[in-house]
Chains A and B, each alone.
Chain A
Amino acid sequence: MTDPHDPARELPLHALHVELGAKLVSFAGYSMPLNYPEGILKEHRWCRASAALFDVSHMGQIAVRGSEADAALESLTPADLIGLPPGRARYCLLTNETGGILDDLIVTRLEHGLHVVVNASRRTADLEHLQATIGTRCEIDGSADLCLLALQGPAAAAVIERLSGPLAGWRFMSARNLSPSGIDCIVTRSGYTGEDGFEISVASNAASDLARLLLAQHEVRPAGLGARDSLRLEAGLCLHGHDIDAATTAVEADLAWTISPARRAGGARAGGYPGAAVISHQVESGPARKRVGLKPEGRMPVREGAELFERGGAKAGVVTSGGFSPTLEAPIAMGYVDTETLRSGTALVAVSRGREIPITRAELPFVAHRYFKT
C-alpha cells in the first residue's frame, strides 16, 4: 500500500514483512509495517500479554567514539554521560539554545564508545548537528549497516533466556553482548511500550535470521508501528515531533528527570548544554505549561491537534497525542495545559470536529510500567 510516488526506503527486513502479510506505510521516509494481518488491537494486546517483535530499523544508530566522546556529547544534553557506567543506557534530550528538544535519544556506553539510538525523522539532522558541534572532539559514525529489533512484553525475558542463557541481574537500561544461535548482537533491556523488554542491535545481514528465530518462539508474534504507538501512549511516553519538539522544553514536557543531578545548579558539572539558562530558570520558577495525561469523556478518541479550553472560557492548551487505549478500552490523550489552568483545577473541554468533549487530567502512565528494575 506504499504510495508509488513516495520513494520510501525499504529496510533489510522488508521481504520478511511482506511474507508476514504486513500493511506497509511510509514513515519518516521508510517503508514500515503499520500492522500485520492480526491488526493493531490484537498486536497491542499480545504485547501486553506475552511478547511482540517490532522491527524498528528505521531508527538511527550512531557510534560516538574517542577519549572525549562522553564529555563532548554531554555538551549537547543535560544528561550525565561522563558518569554513565559501562554497559548502562540513559535516556537523553538533545537541546537547542532556547532549551527546546531537538531529539530524544538512548545513549549506551559500550566497550568501544557510546552507542546512540535516534529517531528516524531526526537521523540526518542529528548526524549533522553532532558533526557540526562536536565533530572535532570525537568520531561520529552513522554508517554502520545495522538493524534494530524490539522484543517487548512480559514473556520477552523468558525468550531471551532460552536463546542466550541466564539473565541473572540484568536490569532495565543496561546492555549486554549476546549471540543467540551464533548471531552477534548488542541487547539493551529497554523499550517503548512500558513493558519489560529488549532492544536488539544486529548487523543487517543477520537481522532476518534473528527475527525468524525470535518469531519461531511460541510466545512471540510480530507487531507494527500502529501497536507501537498505542502502547507508548498508554505508557505515557513522548513521541518526538508530536509531544516534544524544538519548541518544548524538558521541564514543560515533564521530562526534568532527564536533567542529571551533576548537571543541575550546584552539581559537579552544572549547565554547559544549549539552553541551560532557560531550563534552569524553568526548573526554579516552574514552566508556563506542562505535558499531562488526559482522558476524554465517552468513547470518541480525541486526536493530536485538538485544542483545549477551560469549560466555557479561554484557550488552555492542545492535545499532542490521542487515541484509543486497548487496555482501558477508552480514549486517552496527552497534551500541554497552561500551568495556571492546572493549578486552578478548572474543568477542561477538547474541541474536536467542532464539538466540545469534556476531558479530565489523568495520571501518567495510563498503564503501569513493568520495567525490570530489581
Chain B
Amino acid sequence: MTETRFTEEHEWLRMESDDVAIIGITDYAQDQLGDVVYVELPKVGADITRGDAVAVVESVKAAADVKAPVSGRVVEVNEALSGQPELVNEDPSDRAWFYKVQLADKGELSELMDENAYREISKK
C-alpha cells in the first residue's frame, strides 16, 4: 500500500499500481455530509479531467459533487456503493472507495497533499 494523498475538496487517492489510482472521499467529508443515501459513480471507460465533477454523493440533507483529483480513464467502479451507500459513512477510507482511474499524467500527483497537510485543512 502506498501513501494516501488528498485534495482540498476532501477526496483521497492511493496508487494501486504504477499507473492506477483508487479514489474515494475522506472521513471528514462523510462526517460533514451526514447519512449517505445515494452515490452516483462515473462510467467505466470514461475519460475524466482533473477538477471535473465525476461523481455525486447524496446525503439525507444535500447533494455534493465529487471532483476528479487527477485526469485519466476510469477502469473500475465500486458497485457495492449502489446497494449500500451507507458504506461511505461506515468505512470511507477503504471499503467505500469510489472508482479506479488509469492516470493520464502522473505529474498531477505532485499537486496533491500528504496526510499532514490534509489534517491541517480538515481540522474541525
Contact = CB atoms under 8 A, between A and B. Distances in A.
A135 to B, nearest CB: 39
Determine the interface band of chain A, counting residues with CB < 8 A from chain B: 10 to 19
Nearest to A300: B38
Contact of B35 (A39, A299, A331): A39
Contacts of B89: 39
A12 to B, nearest CB: 25
Contacts of B82: 299
A34 B61 contact: yes
Contacts of B80: none
A232 interface: no
A324 B34 contact: no
Given A226-B61, A324-B60, A41 B38 contact: no
A230 B40 contact: no
B34 A299 contact: no
Nearest to B35: A41
Interface string B3-34: 00000000000000000000000000000001
A327 B37 CA distance: 13
B56 interface: yes
Interface centre among B34, B35, B38, B60 (most CB of A within 10 A): B60
Given A34-B61, A301-B63, A324 B37 contact: yes
Contacts of A23: 34
Interface in A326-359: 326, 331, 353
Interface in A280-308: 299-301, 303
Interface string B23-66: 00000000000110110100000000000000010101101000
A301 B38 contact: yes
Contacts of A331: 38
Query: Majority SS of interface residues in chain A?
Result: mixed
A353 B56 contact: yes
Contacts of A34: 34, 61
A35 interface: yes
A194 interface: no
Given A41-B35, A303-B63, A324 B56 contact: no
A154 interface: no
Interface string B55-88: 0101011010000000000000000001001000
A324 B60 CA distance: 6
A176 to B, nearest CB: 34
Interface string B75-112: 00000001001000100000000000000000000000
A34 B32 CA distance: 11
Contacts of B63: 301, 303, 353
B60 A41 contact: yes
A326 B61 contact: no
B60 A326 contact: yes
B103 to A, nearest CB: 26
Contacts of A276: none
Contact of A300 (B35, B40, B60): B40
Contacts of B60: 40-41, 44, 226, 230, 323-324, 326
B56 A40 contact: no
Given A35-B34, A41-B35, A299-B82, 4 more contacts: A34-B34, A40-B60, A40-B61, A230-B60
Interface of A: 23, 34-35, 39-41, 44, 226, 229-230, 299-301, 303, 323-324, 326, 331, 353
8 contacts: A39-B89, A40-B35, A229-B61, A300-B56, A323-B60, A324-B60, A326-B60, A353-B63
